[in-house]
């Protein structure tokens, strides 16, 4: 998925960390079982957060046992079993990754194009299968991706317009978790705000590369319109990071309001950690230019 939705691990108790990791491992195994081995290679902790929200809203317990996995074949670790019903999170991961791979083939550099072209065939059959199961959701994701392509092709959209496709996509993903109209409305707004956070964080993360390579990035347009010089090197200008921080804080504030109104009980400690600490922590890593999507630990302290 995106790679920016993570827990702040230093503030997780051992039992919480084990549960968080067990959900991640369970989704990995579920993807392998339902969609094939290759699909699991694209999994991120974003899917674990979606699964925890799903189980919390529907008040489902996690069923776990010690198992070996491909990443740690010699040591058993706690893994959520299929009875925990992680199918929605694994399905969304495949749906979003399929579109991400198509987007990479269309827009990214030669290395990413080649990798995406190599992986995409393994997602085509699972994607068609999921489109039949989740007709409405897959249609909404397709519409959001179409809007994203139009925004990037136009290359003149500001930050709000550029955020909209990702926000609408995440709105559709989380709205489906609701059991009644109230929950659906709250989860829809929660997902929308989360999508805005993800897009702004990703835009800031990619900014230097986009400046060097001439790619579209709404933050480049903001810098140009405010007389902020960008050369793709050196430290990011404070005026620009301050703007991003204000935008992210507004989205996270509205997201937190929805989260409080939802008042989840099961897995509350882990979800609290992600919503109140993890999201801000990841953004701070990006702002300080210390974030790596492949890095599981992070390299900076959290600033309260």
pLDDT tens for the chain, residues 1 to 304? 688 999 999 999 999 999 999 999 999 999 999 999 999 999 999 999 999 999 999 999 888 888 877 777 778 888 888 666 899 999 999 999 999 999 888 876 778 889 989 999 999 999 999 999 999 999 999 999 999 999 988 888 899 999 999 999 999 999 999 999 999 999 999 999 999 999 999 999 999 988 988 889 999 999 999 999 888 787 889 999 999 999 999 999 999 999 999 999 899 999 999 999 999 999 999 999 998 765 544 433 333 3
pTM over 0.95: no
In the chain, domain spans: 9-287
Other C-beta atoms within 10 Å of 180: how many? 7
Pairing assessment for the beta strands 64-67 and 77-80 based on DSSP bridges: antiparallel
Write phi, then psi, for 30 (nearest 5 degrees): -65, -40
Write phi, then psi, for 65 (nearest 5 degrees): -150, 165
Give the span between the Cα atoms of 114 and 302, in whole angstroms: 36
Give the span between the Cα atoms of 79 and 194, in whole angstroms: 27
Fold for the domain defined by 9-287? Farnesyl Diphosphate Synthase (1.10.600)
User: Exposed (0-12), middle (13-18) or buried (19+): which is 254, by Cβ within 10 Å?
Assistant: middle
């Amino acid at each position: 998925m995106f790679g920016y939705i993570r827990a702040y691990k230093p503030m997780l108790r051992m039992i919480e960390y084990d549960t968080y990791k067990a959900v991640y491992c369970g989704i990995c195994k579920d993807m392998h079982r339902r969609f094939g081995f290759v699909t699991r290679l694209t999994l991120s902790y974003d899917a674990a957060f979606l699964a925890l929200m799903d189980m919390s809203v529907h008040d489902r317990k996690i069923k776990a046992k010690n198992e070996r996995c491909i990443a740690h074949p010699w040591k058993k670790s706690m893994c959520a079993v299929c009875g925990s019903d992680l199918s929605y999170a694994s399905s969304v991961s495949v749906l979003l990754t399929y579109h991400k791979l198509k987007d990479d083939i269309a827009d990214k550099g030669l290395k990413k194009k080649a990798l995406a072209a190599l992986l995409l065939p393994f997602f085509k059959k699972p994607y068609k299968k999921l489109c039949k199961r989740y007709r409405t959701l897959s249609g909404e994701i397709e519409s959001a991706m179409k809007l994203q392509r139009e925004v990037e092709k136009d290359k003149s959209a500001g930050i709000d317009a550029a955020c909209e496709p990702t926000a609408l996509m995440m709105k559709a993903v989380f709205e489906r978790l609701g059991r009644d109209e109230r929950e659906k409305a709250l989860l829809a707004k929660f997902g929308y705000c989360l999508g805005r956070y993800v897009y702004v964080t990703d835009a800031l993360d990619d900014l230097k590369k986009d400046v060097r390579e001439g790619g579209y990035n709404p933050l480049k347009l903001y810098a140009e319109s405010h007389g902020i010089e960008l050369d793709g090197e050196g430290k990011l200008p404070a005026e620009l990071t301050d703007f991003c921080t204000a935008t992210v804080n507004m989205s996270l504030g509205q997201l937190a309001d929805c989260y409080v109104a939802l008042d989840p009980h099961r897995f509350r400690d882990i979800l609290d950690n992600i919503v109140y600490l993890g999201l801000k922590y990841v953004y701070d890593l990006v702002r300080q230019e210390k974030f790596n999507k492949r890095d599981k630990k992070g390299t900076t302290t959290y600033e309260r």
